[in-house]
């Protein structure tokens, strides 16, 4: 795993400052930013996937039961999924400390 | 057997680009660089060379295309002058930071204003710190030779830097000189196809050109700085290999009748040949004068310069540009910085001469030596003046 | 469009992402969503040349990257030129047999500043030369990365940090530059407008652009809650309203032929779109009327082009 920038010595910098590990920024927890988190009411969910397709943070993943579930590690709490859900199955609730 | 033919230096440069099997050529026309691109476009149009040639909408894009194509692993070439170089200046720094071994020939010309198409080094000095290997060549043969030398050097995995060949506009670009052409087989042996360390391709999805926060930028800068300094060894090695192939050996700093000289002239670029004529004349008159020529501008050849100059009493540095409001000429500042720590060192008297195409004859060199010797004798040991200006 | 499509259409899309989570865009950033959808549409065999700007900054703080496809950034104003270089580099290396022959799509990606302002010359050059690439402009209607300064793509009346609503001037005093028309004027094979609020339409257009030989230009309206001073959860709705009010019509220009993708018998009043954005808060009724007149006129003109076909 790539170590944080403050730990690199100049000798370790790859030629031309290239980054060789694709998508390694996914270690970064953007979920810390949120003050609201989405809660899914599975009874109302029609599995349409709009929450998934409209998420700017790639936070939604399909689970084994066929529900799109928000990954709180990445969810920034923007509330788009809740707003766009055609059956109002997603509510935004205050994130507890 | 190598062929020796008379040809315009710009044509020789274009022929070298062809022989170097360049993949992508991208340029924008500007005097006095035009003959190089015109000839290259002819070569490509006639199918004599398998390359992509683009005459684009600006020098900024010309360099940007080279950066893009070089990043895919294609050997890329551009050339420009003065205002064109100024427009692409931003991208020169980036090409070095990304370590893309592009080759650029700069047909040196004055930076405006006033607008002038004639030759001096103000364009090259503007991008002095851009992080490219930078040569200043003296004649057409050196231009031709350094195309191969530059690619072999720049593409070396221990180097990976872009390279500039500075050649004086008109004085070199538009004159016909005898050029000894090298056989293609020899070139192919000397310069194998480019094997990039990293290249843009879906098989290895790398990120190239990420931004750096203050917590790591200084480390990236030191990595670049150390790598360019460390390229000196390779530069000498490539020149040696080239010399072994052609018999033409090059050095970062060259001297002419300098070993025992009390006063040394120091030049960069094509005026070195004229200066050597002046040295011969002064030697005939019994004066102790020699010549030092800088061929490698970056990385700066500190050790070679010291070896060549420290023994002299007077060092007369001829600049082809002025650092307006600064310490005089940029070459002289560099030279002074290089010898500053030495307990015994020559006094450095600095002229800016040949500004924007003004002729510098052997007689002018003699006059400058006369003037510098008198000034230093009278205690003006670090003077600077623009030579030959009407008062 | 959504209403015309089966809502379950998104289930047919690939689950693969090529723009990784963990990027640092603001909450509700529709530009990041646009980028995600572009990547989803194109798959792994692409190379992206990105301009300096929000998407570059949120995705590439060295030594970390959000990109799972080869991605290249070098400056602000030269995206189209760099993409040109990548395209010709691949072409010549394949021709000379130095890399295997296969279809690799080159994508230029820049914001509205990098496209309509500082990058316009490089873009025009690349379109004129006819490189085989896709240029995607994600338009959030100002220089958001540097702190919401106006660009030539900022709409009339919008308040930005360099077109503030003051006592004598009420925000941006010029009309939004029509980039799609400028691109179309180069007679390239494909130009389209898109918006992530219509994801299937966007994906379809990007795929079409990838299949077309020659230069393609896609202009994507990307709602920016930070710069537009709108609620982050409204980003999709605002994009939809931009389309439904005729502010940002979705259309294609294929080989010079205009085609309006969704035509509304009656447009929603622009007030519905404007009132949700703080950047328009200062507008007077007269100014809103002026904007309405202009939008209606432009939309009618587009409809005529759609009918005429050119």
pLDDT per residue over B31-68, tens digit each? 999 999 999 999 999 999 999 999 999 999 999 999 99
ipTM: 0.96
Q: Give the DSSP letter of residue A49.
A: -
Task: Indicate if the pLDDT at residue C2 is higher than 70.
Answer: no
Does B227 lie at the interface with A, CB-CB under 8 angstroms?
yes
How many other C-beta atoms can be found within 10 angstroms of the C-beta atom of residue B48? 11
Strand partners, B268: B294
Buried-state track A1-30, b at ≥16 Cβ within 10 A, e below 16:
ebeebeebebeebbbbbbbebbbbbbebeb
Angle at the Cα of B334 from the Cα atoms of B328 and B337, rounded to 5 degrees: 105
Cross-chain residue pair C85–B50, CB shorter than 8 Å: no
Query: What distance in Å separates the CA atoms of residue B225 and residue B211, rounded to the nearest whole number?
Result: 18
Give the span between the Cα atoms of B152 and A32, in whole angstroms.
Answer: 50
Round to the nearest angstrom and report the end-to-end CA distance of chain B.
55
Q: Are residues C93 and B72, on separate chains, in Cβ contact within 8 Å?
A: yes
Q: How much is the pLDDT for C53?
A: 97
Contacts of B91 (CB under 8 A, 6+ apart): B60, B63, B64, B67, C74, C75, C78
For residue range B296-350, list pLDDT tens digits in order.
Answer: 999 999 999 999 999 999 999 999 999 999 999 999 999 999 999 999 999 999 9
Q: Does the CB of C124 have a partner CB in chain B at under 8 Å?
A: yes
- Three-class secondary structure assignment of chain C: CCCCCCHHHHHHCCCCCCECCCCCCCCCCHHHHHHHHHHHHHCCCEEEEECCCHHHHHHCECCCCCECCCEEECCCCCHHHHHHHHHHHHHHHHHCCCCCCCCCEEEEEEEHHHHHHCCHHHHHHHHHHCCCCEEEEEECCCECCCCCECCCCCCCCCCECCECECCCCECCCCCCCCHHHHHHCCCCCEEEEECCCCHHHHHHHHHHHHHCCCCEEEEEECCCHHHHCCCHHHHHHHHHHHHHCCCCCCEEEECCEEEECCCCCCCCCHHHHHCCCHHHCCCCHHHHHHHHHHHHHHHHHHHHHHHHCC
* Whole-Å CA distances, B228 to B131, B135, B233, B301: 7, 14, 10, 12
Q: What is the pLDDT of residue B116?
A: 97
Cα separation, A37 vs A75, in Å, equals 8
Q: Which of residues 18-47 of A touch C (CB under 8 A)?
A: 19, 21-30, 33-34, 46-47
Chain segment A7-59, per-residue pLDDT in tens? 999 999 999 999 999 999 999 999 999 999 999 999 999 999 999 999 999 99
**Mutate: best of C76, C87, C93, partner B, most B CBs <10 A:** C93
Residue B152 has pLDDT above 50, yes or no: yes
Rounded alpha-carbon distances, angstroms, from residue C15 to A26, C34, C274: 16, 16, 35
Q: Which residues contact B268 (CB under 8 A, 6 or more apart)?
A: B121, B136, B293, B294, B295, B297, B318, B320, B331
Residue B202 forms contact with C (CB below 8 Å): yes
Q: What is the pLDDT of residue C228?
A: 98
For A18, the closest of B207, B215, B226 (CB atoms) is B207
Under CATH, to which class is B3-246 assigned?
A: alpha beta
Cis amide prior to B32 (ω within 30 degrees): yes
How far is the alpha carbon of B25 from chain C, nearest alpha carbon, in Å?
10
Non-local CB neighbours of C308 within 8 Å, separated by 6+ positions = C258
Question: Residues B20-38: what's their mean pLDDT?
Answer: 98
Assign domain B254-386 to a CATH class. alpha beta
Q: How confident is the model at residue C1 (pLDDT cuts 50, 70, 90)?
A: very low
Domain C7-308 has CATH 3.40.50.970: yes
Chain A nearest-CA distance from B240, in A, is: 26
Task: Give the span between the Cα atoms of A97 and C255, in whole angstroms.
Answer: 56
Pick C32's closest partner by Cβ from A2, A47, A56.
Answer: A56
For residue range B62-102, what is the model confidence (pLDDT) as tens digits? 999 999 999 999 999 999 999 999 999 999 999 999 999 99
Q: Which of A22, A28, A33 sits opposite C27 (nearest CB)?
A: A33
Q: Cα separation of B15 and C144, whole Å? A: 48
Model confidence over B250-281: pLDDT tens digits?
999 999 999 999 999 999 999 999 999 999 99
Query: Does A1 have pLDDT greater than 80?
Result: no
For residues C219 and C134, is the Cβ–Cβ distance under 8 A?
A: no
Q: What is the mean pLDDT of residues C126-132?
A: 98
- Distance CA(C54)–CA(C62), nearest Å, equals 15
Asked if residue C111 lies in contact with residue C79, where contact means CB atoms within 8 angstroms, the answer is no
> Quick check: B66 contacting C, CB < 8 Å?
yes
Q: Which residue of A has its CA nearest to C19?
A: A23
Q: How confident is the model at residue B221 (pLDDT cuts 50, 70, 90)?
A: very high
Q: Which residues, in sequence order, are CB contacts of B64 under 8 Å at separation 6+? A: B91, C74, C75, C78, C81, C82, C84, C85, C122
Q: How far, CA to CA in Å, does C92 sit from each of B69, B235, C89, C310?
A: 9, 29, 5, 35
How many helices (DSSP H) and strands (DSSP E) are in chain A?
2, 4
Tokens of B342: 């030495």
Helical (H) or strand (E) element with B243: helix B214-246
Compute the distance between CA of residue B28 and CA of residue C139 in angstroms, rounded to an integer.
30
Q: What are phi and psi of C288, to 5 degrees?
A: -65, -40
Residue whose pair of structure tokens reads 């560099």 in the numeric block: B334
The domain segmentation of chain B, as residue ranges, is 3-246, 254-386
Could you tell me the fold of the domain covering A29-94?
A: Alpha-Beta Plaits (3.30.70)
The whole-chain average pLDDT of chain C stands at 96
Q: Are B238 and B161 in contact (CB under 8 A)?
A: no
Return the residue of B nearest to A24 by Cα.
B207
Inter-chain contact C71–B193, Cβ cutoff 8 Å? Answer: no
Angle (CA) C204 C209 C213, round 5°:
145
Could you read off the pLDDT of C223-243 as tens digits, one per residue?
999 999 999 999 999 999 999
Question: pLDDT tens digits for A55-96?
Answer: 999 999 999 999 999 999 999 999 999 999 999 999 999 987
**Cβ–Cβ < 8 Å for A71, C21:** yes
Residue C55: pLDDT band (50, 70, 90) is: very high
DSSP assignments along B165-229, one per residue: EEEETTTTTT-EEEEEEPPHHHHHHHSPPP--SS--BTTB--EES-B--HHHHHHHHHHHHHHHH
- In angstroms, what CA-CA distances link B348 with B98, B241, B266, B268, B325? 37, 35, 10, 16, 19
Q: How far is C150 from C133, CA to CA, in rounded Å?
A: 28
Identify the DSSP state of A68: E
- pLDDT the model gives residue C265: 87
CB-nearest partner of C11 from A49, A54, A55: A49
Return the pLDDT at C6.
56
DSSP states of B127-169 as a string?
A: TTTS--EEEE--SHHHHHHHHHHHHHHHTSTTT---EEEEEET
Average pLDDT, chain B: 97
The pLDDT score that the predictor gives to residue C4 is 47
Q: Give residue for tokens 């300098």.
A: B258
| Mean pLDDT in residue range C130-156 | 98
pLDDT on residue B2: 77
Distance (Å, whole) CA B205 – CA C140: 28
Which candidate from C30, C33, C64 shows the least CB-CB separation from A28?
A: C64
Contact C153/C146 with Cβ under 8 angstroms? no
- Report the distance separating Cα B74 and Cα B67, nearest Å: 10
The answer to whether the CB of B109 falls within 8 A of the CB of B120 is yes
Q: Residues of C numbered 56-115 whose beta carbons fall under 8 angstroms of chain B's beta carbons: which are they? A: 56-57, 60-65, 67-75, 77-78, 81-93, 95-96, 98-99, 104
């Amino acid at each position: 795993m790539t170590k944080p920038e403050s730990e690199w010595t100049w000798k370790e910098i790859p030629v031309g400052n290239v980054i060789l590990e694709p998508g390694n920024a996914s270690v970064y927890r953007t979920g810390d930013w949120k003050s609201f988190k989405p809660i899914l009411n599975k009874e109302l969910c029609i599995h349409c996937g709009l929450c998934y397709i409209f998420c700017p943070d790639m936070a939604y993943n399909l689970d084994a039961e066929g529900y799109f579930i928000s990954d709180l590690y990445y969810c920034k709490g923007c509330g788009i999924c809740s707003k766009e859900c055609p059956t109002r199955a997603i509510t935004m609730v205050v994130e507890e400390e | 057997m190598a062929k020796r033919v008379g040809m315009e230096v710009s044509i020789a440069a274009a022929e070298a680009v062809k022989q170097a099997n360049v993949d992508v050529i991208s340029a924008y026309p500007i005097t006095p660089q035009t003959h190089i691109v015109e000839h290259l476009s002819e070569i490509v149009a006639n199918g004599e060379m398998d390359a992509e040639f683009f005459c684009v909408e600006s020098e900024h894009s010309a360099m940007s295309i080279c950066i893009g194509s070089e990043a895919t692993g294609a050997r890329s070439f551009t050339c420009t002058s003065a205002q064109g170089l100024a427009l692409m200046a931003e991208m020169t720094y980036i090409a070095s930071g990304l370590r893309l071994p592009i080759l650029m020939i700069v047909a040196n010309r004055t930076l405006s204003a006033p607008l002038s198409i004639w030759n001096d080094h103000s364009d090259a000095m503007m991008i002095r710190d851009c992080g490219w290997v930078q040569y200043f060549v003296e004649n057409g043969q050196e231009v031709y030779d350094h195309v191969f030398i530059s690619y072999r050097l720049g593409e070396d995995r221990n180097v990976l830097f872009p390279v500039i060949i500075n050649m004086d506009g008109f004085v070199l670009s538009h004159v016909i000189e005898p050029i000894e052409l090298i056989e293609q087989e020899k070139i192919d042996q000397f310069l194998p196809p480019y094997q990039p360390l990293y290249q843009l391709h879906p098989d290895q999805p790398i990120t190239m050109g990420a931004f750096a926060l203050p917590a790591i930028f200084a480390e990236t800068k030191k990595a670049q700085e150390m790598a360019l300094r460390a390229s000196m060894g390779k530069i000498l090695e490539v020149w040696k290999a080239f010399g072994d192939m052609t018999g033409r050996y090059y050095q970062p700093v060259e001297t002419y009748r300098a070993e025992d000289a009390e006063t040394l002239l120091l030049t960069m670029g094509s005026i070195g040949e004229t200066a050597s004529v002046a040295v011969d004349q002064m030697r005939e008159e019994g004066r102790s004068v020699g010549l030092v020529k800088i061929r490698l501008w970056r990385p700066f050849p500190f050790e070679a310069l010291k070896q060549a100059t420290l023994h002299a009493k007077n060092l007369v540095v001829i600049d082809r540009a002025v650092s307006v409001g600064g310490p005089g000429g940029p070459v002289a500042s560099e030279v002074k910085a290089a010898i500053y720590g030495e307990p015994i060192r020559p006094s450095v008297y600095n002229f800016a001469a040949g500004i924007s195409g003004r002729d510098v004859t052997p007689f002018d060199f003699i006059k400058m030596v006369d003037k510098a010797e008198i000034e230093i004798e009278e205690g003006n040991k670090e003077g600077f003046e623009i030579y030959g200006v009407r008062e | 469009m959504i209403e015309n499509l089966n809502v379950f259409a998104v289930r047919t899309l690939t689950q693969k992402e090529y723009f990784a989570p963990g990027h640092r865009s603001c909450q509700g950033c529709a530009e990041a969503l646009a980028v995600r959808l572009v990547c989803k549409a194109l798959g792994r065999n692409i190379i992206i040349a990105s301009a300096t700007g929000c998407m570059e900054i949120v995705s590439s703080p060295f030594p970390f990257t959000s990109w799972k496809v080869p991605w290249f950034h070098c400056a602000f104003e030269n995206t189209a030129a760099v993409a040109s270089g990548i395209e010709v580099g691949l072409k010549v290396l394949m021709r000379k047999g130095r890399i295997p022959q296969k279809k690799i799509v080159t994508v230029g990606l820049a914001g509205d500043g990098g496209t309509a302002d500082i990058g316009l010359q490089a873009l025009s050059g690349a379109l004129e030369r006819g490189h085989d690439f896709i240029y995607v402009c994600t338009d959030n209607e100002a220089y958001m990365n540097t702190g919401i300064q106006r660009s030539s793509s900022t709409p009339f009346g919008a308040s930005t940090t360099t077109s503030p609503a003051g006592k004598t001037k009420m925000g941006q005093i010029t009309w939004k530059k029509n980039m799609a028309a400028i691109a179309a004027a180069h007679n390239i094979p494909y130009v389209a407008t898109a918006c992530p609020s219509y994801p299937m339409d966007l994906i379809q257009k990007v795929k079409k652009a990838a299949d077309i030989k020659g230069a393609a230009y896609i202009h994507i309206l990307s709602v920016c809650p930070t710069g537009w001073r709108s609620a982050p959860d409204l980003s999709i709705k605002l994009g939809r309203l931009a389309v439904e009010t005729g502010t940002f019509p979705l259309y294609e220009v294929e080989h010079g032929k205009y085609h309006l993708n969704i035509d509304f018998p009656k447009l929603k009043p622009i007030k519905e779109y404007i009132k949700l954005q703080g950047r328009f808060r200062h507008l007077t009724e007269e100014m809103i009327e002026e904007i309405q007149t202009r939008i209606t006129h432009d939309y009618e003109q587009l409809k005529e082009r759609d009918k005429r076909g050119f």
